[in-house]
């Protein structure tokens, strides 16, 4: 076999020469039996060299000497058939121009024999390889017993790979498929055991170690339900990505991944109007504040696909910015990239940045976002979120940016915490400044982003790794979730719809119970909730509410050209009034009047109501705030 492997092309050509000529002799024999006319023998002696040459050249052209026949598929055999038919046709046509030729019936019959011999010989390599695999003795101790969900082409590919690669230490035990015509049938010596409702029973009955969901074309909602069924077993589950994730449409074990929480959300892939996005990003200078954060960094990754003239990443935290810089340089070496370490609180620094780079588009993602932390540090929420937005927005207006997109949050709707109230004030700032500016200022509001820094998923995963307990603040608490890439894509799309002053509201799908999410994540990790890993309910944190809203009552809702993006009615705010209110809050911070700060924020954001137990409508506190404001006004007047 080693000699054959070394001289494979030459040996195959020798065999083909023998097969071609034997086929013609057999055809003469079958046509005339033992009484072959001497004339045709002479004709063949003169023609066998050009006939052989035609076949060899056609075979060479169709790569019949380069294919690895031990792994050949139906495609290779179809190509072999086409090459044979083409060679036979050329010989038939050429022979028709000569009087001293072989009969057409002999040429056609010889062509049939050549197909049988040449392809049959090559098939022997596949048969030999299959036989060696079938009869080899493999010690399957330590192999993972696998249940494959989906008896289609993808499932077949997975079983084939398991079968041919024992070093992976997988053993295919059975298929699961909802097609009733397949149930009970045997495919590649593996039985289709039942439909999806049989999964739990089959896992228990056959001691399954691993479930592989191999249906790339499965709709997202159905996949979500299927994942839940698999998740109810204590079995490890992996999944072949959907067709939109399989860039080359090939299915293999190397492409399967662990089932993740995102599979349980059932989010449909986003369809984007790429032309609309390109129109305002391609060839433009784009600035992303907070560019090293979860949303900011994903925005940068998405933006580079639209070929901006220059991408500027601004962030106060150098580590994230540095990591993102290295990633983008590695993936996009021709990208014109600038990474600036700066704070949006620093107006002078921002002025220099805008004056030097003159960004056409600004995505403002810089913000403090952690609710409990901001509840105990309200002054920082105001300085970073509100003043940072005002500083950045005024610079965008002054230096002629075309578009400014604020990243907002569902917590800005009827806020019950300082963080949400501060983001509502940010929305007020951009709606107020839009009324007087040539720059199109808009906000994009969405809920929690799955897997972002500080979100609940990384916290749960860490708690599970530590053996628990997993902490949930309330058994009935719900949140809206979307994926980081999805959020970034919709932000870019919303920017394309901007006319100025809108608050774009993203469709977050159905709210998810955090307690259910904890249970699913524990099961995905191979444990049983409240048996192996305890779930502990700790009580609502300061500023936290059970249910988030995406739209304020007074805003209304309008459709856009995208089915996942809606527009809230623009607010009517006067910039001078909004700024004076913000500066009044900053005065409280400046003079250390943090006890009055929350009361003043409520004056600015009337929909802000603190959670039960914090009375900020206290009459004495209101009077104290009025006295302080009067003192500040008198001092500023003198």
The sheet carrying 236-239 orders its strands as: 186-187, 190-194, 170-176, 144-149, 210-213, 236-239, 257-258
CA distance readout (Å), 286 to 155, 291, 364, 387: 45, 11, 11, 21
Closest C-alpha to 384, from 609, 593, 586, 598? 586
More confident residue, 276 or 245: 276
CA distance readout (Å), 317 to 208, 233, 379, 575: 46, 42, 20, 30
354 — pLDDT class (breaks 50, 70, 90): very high
C-alpha–C-alpha distance, residues 267 and 451, integer Å? 15
CATH of 144-260, one of 3.40.50.300, 2.60.120.10, 3.40.50.720, 3.30.160.270: 3.40.50.720
250 — pLDDT class (breaks 50, 70, 90): low
Mean pLDDT calculated for residue range 331-342 = 95
Average pLDDT, the chain: 83
Q: Is the pLDDT confidence value at 610 over 80? A: no
The answer to whether 575 and 568 are in contact (CB under 8 A) is no
pLDDT at site 614: 47
Q: Is the pLDDT confidence value at 71 over 60? A: no
Which helix (DSSP H) or strand (DSSP E) does residue 364 occupy? strand 361-364
Cβ-based neighbours of 291, under 8 Å, separated by 6 or more = 297, 299, 300, 312, 313, 314, 315, 321, 324, 339, 365
Q: Is the pLDDT confidence value at 51 over 90? A: no
Which helix (DSSP H) or strand (DSSP E) does residue 231 occupy? helix 220-231
Q: Is the pLDDT confidence value at 138 over 90? A: no
pLDDT at site 247: 45
422 — pLDDT class (breaks 50, 70, 90): very high
For residues 242, 248, 251, 257, the Cα torsion angle rounded to the nearest 10 degrees is: -50
Cβ-based neighbours of 551, under 8 Å, separated by 6 or more = 413, 505, 557, 566, 568
Top mean-pLDDT range of 116-120, 138-142, 172-176, 306-310: 306-310
154 — pLDDT class (breaks 50, 70, 90): confident
Mean pLDDT calculated for residue range 318-335 = 94
Q: Is the pLDDT confidence value at 634 over 70? A: no
C-alpha–C-alpha distance, residues 392 and 366, integer Å? 10
Q: Is the pLDDT confidence value at 469 over 80? A: yes
Q: Is the pLDDT confidence value at 481 over 60? A: yes
Positions of CATH 3.40.50.720 in the chain? 144-260, 274-449+481-510+549-575
Q: Is the pLDDT confidence value at 507 over 90? A: no
pTM: 0.68
pLDDT at site 434: 94
For residue 438, the 8-state DSSP code is S
pLDDT at site 498: 87
Q: Is the pLDDT confidence value at 448 over 70? A: yes
How are beta strands 470-472 and 535-537 bridged, if at all?
Answer: parallel
Top mean-pLDDT range of 140-149, 194-203, 422-431, 598-607: 422-431
pLDDT at site 638: 43
Q: Is the pLDDT confidence value at 276 over 90? A: no
* Least-confidence region, from 13-22, 588-597, 607-616: 607-616
65 — pLDDT class (breaks 50, 70, 90): confident
Q: Is the pLDDT confidence value at 266 over 70? A: no
411 is catalytic: yes
Domain 274-449+481-510+549-575 has CATH 2.30.42.10: no
Mean pLDDT calculated for residue range 585-604 = 85
Q: Where are the alpha helices (DSSP H) in 260-338?
A: 261-265, 274-281, 294-303, 318-331
Q: Is the pLDDT confidence value at 79 over 90? A: no
C-alpha–C-alpha distance, residues 86 and 89, integer Å? 5
pLDDT at site 235: 83
For residue 71, the 8-state DSSP code is G
pLDDT at site 598: 86
Mean pLDDT calculated for residue range 123-145 = 71
pLDDT at site 307: 94
C-alpha–C-alpha distance, residues 237 and 150, integer Å? 14
Q: Where are the alpha helices (DSSP H) in 241-317?
A: 261-265, 274-281, 294-303
For residue 541, the 8-state DSSP code is P
pLDDT at site 613: 43
Share of the chain above pLDDT 90, in %: 28
pLDDT at site 552: 52
CA distance readout (Å), 159 to 94, 162, 187, 235: 48, 5, 9, 19
Q: Is the pLDDT confidence value at 622 over 60? A: no
437 — pLDDT class (breaks 50, 70, 90): very high
Mean pLDDT calculated for residue range 444-469 = 80
pLDDT at site 521: 82
Total length of the chain: 638
C-alpha–C-alpha distance, residues 257 and 499, integer Å? 41
393 — pLDDT class (breaks 50, 70, 90): very high
pLDDT at site 184: 87
The answer to whether 159 and 170 are in contact (CB under 8 A) is no
Among the listed residues 411, 423, 545, 564, the single catalytic one is: 411
């Amino acid at each position: 076999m080693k000699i054959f492997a070394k001289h494979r092309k030459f040996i195959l050509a020798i065999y083909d020469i023998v097969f071609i000529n034997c086929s013609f002799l057999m055809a003469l024999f079958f046509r005339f039996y033992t009484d072959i006319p001497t004339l045709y023998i002479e004709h063949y002696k003169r023609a066998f060299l050009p006939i052989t040459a035609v076949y060899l050249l056609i075979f060479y052209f169709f790569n019949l000497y380069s294919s690895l026949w031990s792994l050949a598929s139906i495609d290779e055999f179809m190509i072999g058939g086409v090459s044979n038919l083409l060679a036979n046709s050329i010989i038939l046509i050429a022979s028709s121009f000569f009087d001293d030729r072989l009969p057409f019936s002999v040429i056609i019959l010889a062509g049939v024999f050549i197909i049988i011999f040449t392809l049959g010989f090559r098939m022997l390599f596949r048969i030999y390889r299959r036989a060696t695999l079938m009869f080899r003795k493999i010690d399957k101790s330590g192999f993972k017993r696998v249940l494959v969900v989906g008896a289609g082409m993808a499932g077949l590919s997975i079983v084939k790979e398991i079968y041919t690669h024992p070093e992976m230490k997988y053993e295919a035990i059975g298929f699961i498929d909802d097609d009733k015509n397949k149930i009970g049938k045997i495919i590649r010596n593996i039985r289709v055991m039942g439909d999806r409702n049989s999964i739990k029973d089959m896992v228990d009955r056959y001691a399954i170690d691993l479930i592989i969901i191999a249906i790339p074309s499965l709709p997202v909602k159905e996949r979500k339900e299927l994942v839940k069924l698999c998740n109810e077993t204590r079995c490890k589950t992996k999944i072949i990505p959907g067709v939109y994730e399989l860039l080359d449409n090939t299915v293999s074990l190397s492409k399967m991944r662990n089932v993740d929480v995102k599979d349980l959300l059932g989010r449909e892939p986003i369809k984007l109007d790429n032309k609309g996005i390109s129109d305002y990003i391609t060839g433009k200078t784009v600035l992303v504040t907070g560019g090293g954060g979860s949303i900011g960094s994903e925005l940068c990754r998405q933006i580079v696909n639209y070929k901006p003239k220059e991408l500027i990443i601004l962030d106060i935290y150098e580590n994230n910015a540095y990591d993102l810089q290295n990633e983008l340089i590695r993936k996009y070496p021709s990208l014109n990239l600038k990474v600036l370490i700066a704070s949006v609180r620093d107006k002078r620094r921002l002025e220099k940045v805008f004056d030097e780079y003159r960004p056409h588009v600004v995505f403002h993602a810089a913000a403090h976002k952690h609710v409990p932390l901001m509840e105990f540090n309200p002054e920082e929420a105001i300085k970073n979120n509100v003043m940072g937005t005002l500083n950045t927005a005024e610079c965008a207006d002054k230096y002629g940016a075309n578009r400014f997109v604020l990243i907002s949050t569902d917590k800005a709707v009827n806020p019950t915490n300082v963080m949400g109230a501060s983001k509502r004030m940010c929305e007020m700032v951009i709606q107020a400044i839009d009324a007087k500016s040539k720059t199109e200022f808009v906000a994009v509001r969405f809920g929690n982003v799955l897997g972002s820094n500080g979100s609940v998923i990384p916290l749960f995963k860490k708690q599970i790794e530590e053996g628990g307990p997993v902490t949930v603040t309330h058994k009935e608490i719900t949140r809206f979730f979307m994926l980081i890439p999805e959020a970034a894509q919709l932000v870019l799309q919303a920017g394309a719809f901007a006319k100025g002053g809108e608050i774009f509201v993203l469709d977050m799908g159905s709210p998810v119970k955090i307690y259910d999410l904890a249970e699913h994540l524990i099961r995905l990790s191979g444990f049983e909730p409240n048996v192996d890993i305890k779930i502990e309910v700790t009580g609502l944190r300061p500023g936290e509410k059970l249910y988030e809203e995406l739209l304020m009552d007074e805003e209304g809702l309008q459709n856009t050209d995208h089915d996942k993006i809606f527009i809230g009615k623009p607010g009517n705010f006067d910039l001078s009034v909004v700024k004076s209110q913000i500066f009044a809050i900053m005065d409280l911070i400046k003079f250390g009047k943090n006890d009055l700060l929350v009361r003043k924020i409520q004056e600015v954001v009337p929909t802000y109501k603190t959670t039960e137990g914090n009375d900020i409508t206290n009459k004495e506190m209101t009077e104290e705030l009025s006295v302080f404001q009067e003192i500040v006004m008198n001092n500023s007047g003198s």
